[in-house]
Amino acid sequence: MKYIGIVKEPDFEKRICFLPKEISAAINQLNLKVFIEKGIGENLGISDSKFEKAGAIVQNRSEILERSDFILSINEPQNFNIGEAEKTIIGYFNMLFYPQRTEKYLNKSISVFSLDLLPRTTLAQSMDVLSSMASLAGYKAVLKATNYYNSSFPMFTTAAGTLSPAKVLVLGAGVAGLQAIATAKRLGAIVEAFDVRKSSEEEVKSLGAKFIEVEGYKEGKNAGGYAVEQSKEYLAKQKELIHQHISKANIVISTANIPGKKAPVLIDSKALEAMQPASVIIDLAAEQGGNCIATQNGKIINHNSVTIIGDSFLSREIPQAASQLLSSNYFNFLKHLVNSNKKEDPILSGCQVIYNGKITHPQLLTKFE
Ligand code: NAD
């Protein structure tokens, strides 16, 4: 009999990665046992007894970490005494960007899967934590902007006069950006969006937003649909165009990322100086350095009356919804892992970072060369 262990996340993390519904499914469908740490669901108002009803066993933290075969976690487990026993950790650790996070697992009997590295394929869609969290972050980014913006999103026609609708510019029309566009449109804003990928144009237009196009984009051959770094000429043209559009925007939601790399700076000092007074930037790429030159990760700052919010984890502000999606993603991955009998499984090899104490992920290996 194999055990899954789930311990409490660090204090800043309000989401959890496995809920009673999936615990019960893991026990009944995958024939696993589940340990949970006391109070695991307190941030979401879910009592231990609800977890116990689903079949989980409340256990103390060190026992869980020592005895579990699979440890499920969003952030890396803190104060983790790795010990000698073989185990598999499944998380969401952004190790391509933080390669030093692998060090503590090297030369131990530990394997690590980091779900942010799952291939973006149809088969892996139900496990795709990045898409789940990006959707919620895009939605929440717009709601957050409404709180910091000092005027209305929709147009108001009143007896006292007319208020103009807010102008929203979305930089990066991937999963988060499209959700931001949809949310801003629902609130009545005028929305423009920009992405280097021409393929996003149709999606942007179908949501009723205007697509800003820069000519000359080079697709990456093996980039799996992701954006790749561009030439200096392209970036210069792009900056110029963003500069023109940003100077009219009241709200900018920026989401542009290149996996494993520093985020592109799309809002430079010149663009920032050109912005409307009291406008708002929500920079969802803050963790990877930010799309705005002045972004400070995890901080809300004021720059010449422009509010800049650097936050890549806005899904943490809707922890119930985020936990529901994460729990389903983690369960689907676990099911795939437990049932996989292929020698070469692209889903597993795509997100396996460490096998038995050795780094296996090719992109991560290059970071240590
Ligand atoms: P992401 O978070 O890596 O990047 C966000 C967006 O920023 C992307 O659309 C990217 O093109 C854009 N970007 C990067 N550099 C930029 C720049 N210099 N200027 C402007 N925009 C820039 O990406 P994501 O949202 O996770 O999704 C990326 C792609 O993967 C999309 O094509 C998406 O549809 C696809 N995807 C596929 C699946 C699937 O098939 N299972 C699941 C999720 C996403």
Measured in Å, residue 269 CA sits from the centre of ligand 1 at 25
Residue 65 and residue 88 in contact, taking contact as beta carbons nearer than 8 Å: no
Q: Looking at ligand 1, which residue's alpha carbon is closest to its atom 13? A: 256
pLDDT per residue as tens digits for the range 88-134: 999 999 999 999 999 999 999 999 999 999 999 999 999 999 999 99
Q: How many CB atoms lie within 10 A of CB 167?
A: 19
pTM of the complete model: 0.94
Measured in Å, residue 174 CA sits from the centre of ligand 1 at 4
What are the b/e assignments for 72-107, b being 16+ CB within 10 Å?
Answer: bbbebbeebebeeeebbbbbbbbbbbebebbeebee
Residue 335 above 90 pLDDT? yes
CB-ligand 1 contact for 131 (6 Å cutoff): yes
**119, β-bridge pairs:** none
**pLDDT at residue 289 in the model:** 97
pLDDT per residue as tens digits for the range 247-266: 999 999 999 998 878 999 99
**pLDDT at residue 10 in the model:** 95
Instruction: Tell me which of 196, 218, 314, 315 to substitute to probe ligand 1's pocket, judged by most ligand atoms within 8 Å of the beta carbon.
Output: 196
Distance CA 231, CA 224 (A): 19
Identify whether 11 is a catalytic site residue: no
In the 3-class helix/strand/coil scheme, how is 120-175 assigned residue by residue?
CCCCCHHHCHHHHHHHHHHHHHHHHHHHHCCCCCCCEEECCEEECCCEEEEECCCH
3-state secondary structure of 369: coil
Distance CA 272, CA 175 (A): 25
Q: Looking at ligand 1, which residue's alpha carbon is closest to its atom 36? A: 120
Residue 234 and residue 218 in contact, taking contact as beta carbons nearer than 8 Å: yes
The CA-to-CA distance between both ends of the chain, in Å, stands at 40
Q: How many CB atoms lie within 10 A of CB 322?
A: 27
Identify whether 128 is a catalytic site residue: yes
Query: What is the mean pLDDT of the segment spanning 191-203?
Result: 93
CB-ligand 1 contact for 43 (6 Å cutoff): no
CB-ligand 1 contact for 125 (6 Å cutoff): yes
Measured in Å, residue 230 CA sits from the centre of ligand 1 at 15
Atom of ligand 1 nearest to the CA of 203: 34
Question: Cα dihedral sign for 130, 134, 136, 140?
Answer: positive
Q: Looking at ligand 1, which residue's alpha carbon is closest to its atom 42? A: 120
Query: In this predicted complex, what is the ipTM?
Result: 0.94
Identify whether 311 is a catalytic site residue: no
Percent of the chain residues past pLDDT 70, beyond the cut: 97
Q: Is 145 left (phi over 0), alpha (psi -120 to 50) or beta?
A: alpha
CB-ligand 1 contact for 226 (6 Å cutoff): yes
Distance CA 353, CA 88 (A): 11
Lowest mean pLDDT among 66-70, 260-264, 276-280, 290-294: 260-264
- Please tell me which residue in 15, 59, 92, 128 is annotated as part of the active site: 128
Query: What is the mean pLDDT of the segment spanning 354-369?
Result: 91
Instruction: Tell me which of 121, 194, 226 to substitute to probe ligand 1's pocket, judged by most ligand atoms within 8 Å of the beta carbon.
Output: 226
CB-ligand 1 contact for 260 (6 Å cutoff): no
Instruction: Tell me which of 195, 217, 292 to substitute to probe ligand 1's pocket, judged by most ligand atoms within 8 Å of the beta carbon.
Output: 195
**pLDDT at residue 78 in the model:** 84
Measured in Å, residue 173 CA sits from the centre of ligand 1 at 7
Query: What is the mean pLDDT of the segment spanning 145-151?
Result: 98
Give 57-112 as a DSSP string. EEE-HHHHHHH-SEEE-SSPPSS----SS-EEEEE---TTT-GGGGGGGTTSSEEE
